[in-house]
Amino acid sequence: MIIKVENLTKRFDSITAVDDISFEVEEGTIFGFLGPNGAGKTTTINILCTLLSPTSGRAFVAGHDCMKEPADVRKAIGIVFQDTTLDKDLTAYENLVFHTYLYNVPKDEMRGRVYDALRFVDLYERKDDLVKKFSGGMKRRLEVARGLIHRPRVLFLDEPTLGLDPQSRANLWEFITKLPEKHYVTVFMTTHYMEEAEVCDKIAIIDRGKIIAMGTPDELKRTVGGDVVYIKTTDNVNTKEEIERLLGLAVSEKEDELYLTCNMGDTCIPEMMRTIGEKVLSVRLQRPTLNDVFLKLTGKAIREEEAPPEKGIKEYVRAYRRRKEK
């Protein structure tokens, strides 16, 4: 296990930001830390990256104790912070070279490593442009490249796609999902976009400092109660009985559709089709989402606590105008 966390707790005065969490991350996988604002994601990352000491508990990264051997841990990790930390007045190339100095990358390897990293995130052509001319998505990609230059064994990504438009998010995702294979790196990432968490090998859902569920995306979704299969037929009354007899599952009817909940929709559909196939007009399968999992566990949607972004932006713009008018 490349990351091991045991009963980790972090208190800030009266707030318990991280509350007795334990988990392990297997080498070469993508591990997702999923939770709403203030759940304790960044606090956990900061402890694992040796930037913050815990109130109690233990954490190990790449075999080193985060509290007792911080220098060894730092050598083994790369990090992309929630807020960007690039130097806007340097070029992409200069930002990465600066990083090679910090990590004592051998001089004769420096240029090659910087170029490789830039090529990996598709920014090689833009290497001599100032970072202040980059879009949000390009900056994020450059930060991922920077995080890889010293060849870390674990890369921490804190909300890597926050604030990016859907296309830039998808684009960045392409690079993130290739990391374990292309750079032999384990990825530990936080997000509150549920659809992004789908690509993780394993997910921990954290809420108010506690891990409330852990598993593969499929395992977590199975806890919601399975897939829902909707079927339209030429003869709902008889088909309903036939399916119930065949699968031993309760079938319900809503409007002109039959529907049933089953654990494995993809194997239960063919089984059904073999018997009632000729009466079937259409079939659709609805899988539970990670949002359903979160909703079931906490009784709220993951982003419910936030104002919708459009409203926030409008208010910001209005306040800005008012200030200017004065």
Residues that bind Mg ion (CB under 5 A): 41-42, 82
3-class secondary-structure state, position 120: helix
Closest residue (Cβ) to Mg ion?
A: 42
| Smallest distance, Mg ion to C-beta of residue 35, A | 9
3-class secondary-structure state, position 35: coil
Q: What is the DSSP letter of 63?
A: T
| Smallest distance, ligand ATP to C-beta of residue 182, A | 28
- 14 burial via Cβ count (<10 Å: 0-12, 13-18, 19+): exposed
Q: Catalogue the long-range contacts made by 178-185 (C-beta closer than 8 Å, 24 or more residues apart).
A: 179/30, 179/144, 179/148, 179/155, 180/28, 180/29, 180/30, 182/120, 183/120, 183/148, 183/151, 183/155, 184/28, 184/153, 185/78, 185/148, 185/152, 185/153, 185/154, 185/155
| Smallest distance, Mg ion to C-beta of residue 158, A | 6
| Distances 249 to 50, 165, 257 between C-alpha atoms, Å | 52, 43, 16
Query: Which is nearer to ligand ATP, 12 or 184 (by Cβ)?
Result: 12
Question: Is the separation of the CB atoms in 204 and 213 below 8 Å?
Answer: yes
Closest CA to 121 of 83, 171, 157, 77: 171
Query: Which is nearer to ligand ATP, 43 or 100 (by Cβ)?
Result: 43
Which option in ligand ATP, Mg ion, none does residue 17 bind, with CB closer than 5 to 8 A by kind?
A: ligand ATP
Query: Which is nearer to Mg ion, 29 or 82 (by Cβ)?
Result: 82
Beta strand pairing call for 186-191 and 30-34: parallel
Strand partners, 253: 258
Query: Which is nearer to Mg ion, 22 or 82 (by Cβ)?
Result: 82
Query: Which is nearer to ligand ATP, 17 or 176 (by Cβ)?
Result: 17
Which option in Mg ion, ligand ATP, none does residue 237 bind, with CB closer than 5 to 8 A by kind?
A: none
Query: Which is nearer to ligand ATP, 207 or 227 (by Cβ)?
Result: 207
Which option in ligand ATP, Mg ion, none does residue 152 bind, with CB closer than 5 to 8 A by kind?
A: none
Which option in ligand ATP, Mg ion, none does residue 35 bind, with CB closer than 5 to 8 A by kind?
A: ligand ATP
Which option in ligand ATP, Mg ion, none does residue 1 bind, with CB closer than 5 to 8 A by kind?
A: none
Which option in Mg ion, ligand ATP, none does residue 98 bind, with CB closer than 5 to 8 A by kind?
A: none
| Nearby residues of 136 by Cβ (< 8 Å), 6 or more positions away | 163, 164, 165, 168
Query: Which is nearer to Mg ion, 42 or 161 (by Cβ)?
Result: 42
Which option in ligand ATP, Mg ion, none does residue 40 bind, with CB closer than 5 to 8 A by kind?
A: ligand ATP
| Smallest distance, Mg ion to C-beta of residue 45, A | 8
DSSP 141-199: HHHHHHHHTT--SEEEEESTTTT--HHHHHHHHHHHHHHHHHH--EEEEEES-HHHHTT
Query: Which is nearer to ligand ATP, 204 or 272 (by Cβ)?
Result: 204
| Smallest distance, ligand ATP to C-beta of residue 66, A | 16
Site of interaction with ligand ATP (CB under 6 A): 12, 15, 17, 35, 37-43, 82, 192
Which option in Mg ion, ligand ATP, none does residue 43 bind, with CB closer than 5 to 8 A by kind?
A: ligand ATP
Question: Is the separation of the CB atoms in 40 and 19 below 8 Å?
Answer: yes
| Smallest distance, ligand ATP to C-beta of residue 13, A | 7
| Smallest distance, Mg ion to C-beta of residue 162, A | 9
| Smallest distance, Mg ion to C-beta of residue 8, A | 16
Spatial distance between the Cα atoms of 28 and 3, rounded to a whole number of angstroms: 11
